[in-house]
Structure 1
Amino acid sequence: MATWDDVRRLAARLPETTEGSGTQVGGPVWRVRDAMFAWERPLRRTDVQALESMGAPVPPDPILAARVPDLGVKEALVADAPDIYFTIPHFDGYKAVLVKLPSIPESELSELLVEAWPCRAPKRLAKEWLARHEAAGSSGD
């Protein structure tokens, strides 16, 4: 069961990552430089209503949102692991996935953050870090 402390620890391993609080989201937000790549995303009343109207279960908090490289990745995550990943109509067409934080194994959370980070990192920084990361075969060190 992953926690916000796990997200903090794993995100802190990524270069130039800072944690703050989001003015729109209210909870913790992780950014590379000024670009948000992961954040707390509690469901709003309209999100709950939309899920209920579709007959989808409403997951309990805590919920993490994370950037993904493209909509195909998002669709694959939601289809392959609906017990962990989901989306809401508000995120239609948006390259981010929602995560039932207590359901994701720590190793998968690490992989998700490692994949979310370069989606928002400056290209040069991402390219340099990914080259080092792949050469080392590590998960964020």
Structure 2
Amino acid sequence: MATLKDVERLVAALPETVETTKYGNRTWAVGGKAYAWERPFSKADLRRFGDESPPDGPILAVRVEDLGEKEAVLAARSADGFFTIPHFNGYAAVLLQLDEVPESVLGEALLDGWLVYAPAAVAKAHLGKSKT
């Protein structure tokens, strides 16, 4: 299953990605906008889980195109460690429990998140290169 090292390696292959820190967590952005970030649970998040155990291990948030895409991803990938929490209601991003996510699926999710904000010419060049 995937690790933060895998995240680092996969985002390094996405053009114009910049690593920064937001709210004390590593964040990866393109075009000045975050498409993936480490997302540990806050105390409020943990309280919302109540008696249910929250997912453990490193958690990564990844941007998706819109709320419809979010619902589709969650429906298709919940068995692969994708989930959401109330804090993300109405926000176009999903959470990934890295310990449960296959590396190939992580790569797809990061690419999709990157495409949300990547400049069109950069995305087109990257996608054309990756098909060869």
Structure-1-length-normalised TM-score: 0.83
Residues 21-58 of structure 1 deviation map (CA, whole Å, 9 limit, x = unaligned): 22x2x121111132111000001111122233xx7541
> 1:42–1:61: 8 Å Cα contact kept in structure 2?
no
Highest RCO, 1 vs 2 (Cα 8 Å, sep ≥ 6): 2
2:77 maps to what in 1?
Answer: 81
2:49 is matched with 51
The aligned residue for residue 106 of structure 1 is: 103
Residue 40 (structure 2) aligned to one of 39, 42, 55? 42
Q: Deviations over 1:72-107 (max 9, x none)?
A: 221122223324111111111111000001110110
Structure 2 unaligned regions, length at least 5: none
Q: Structure 2 length normalisation: TM-score? A: 0.88
Over the aligned positions, Cα root-mean-square deviation in angstroms equals 1.8
Structure 1 residues without counterparts, runs of 5 or longer: 137-141
Partner of 1:139: none
Which residue identity is paired with 1:80? A
Instruction: Give aligned-pair identity as a percent.
Output: 46
Q: Could you tell me which amino acid in structure 2 is paired with residue 34 of structure 1? A: G
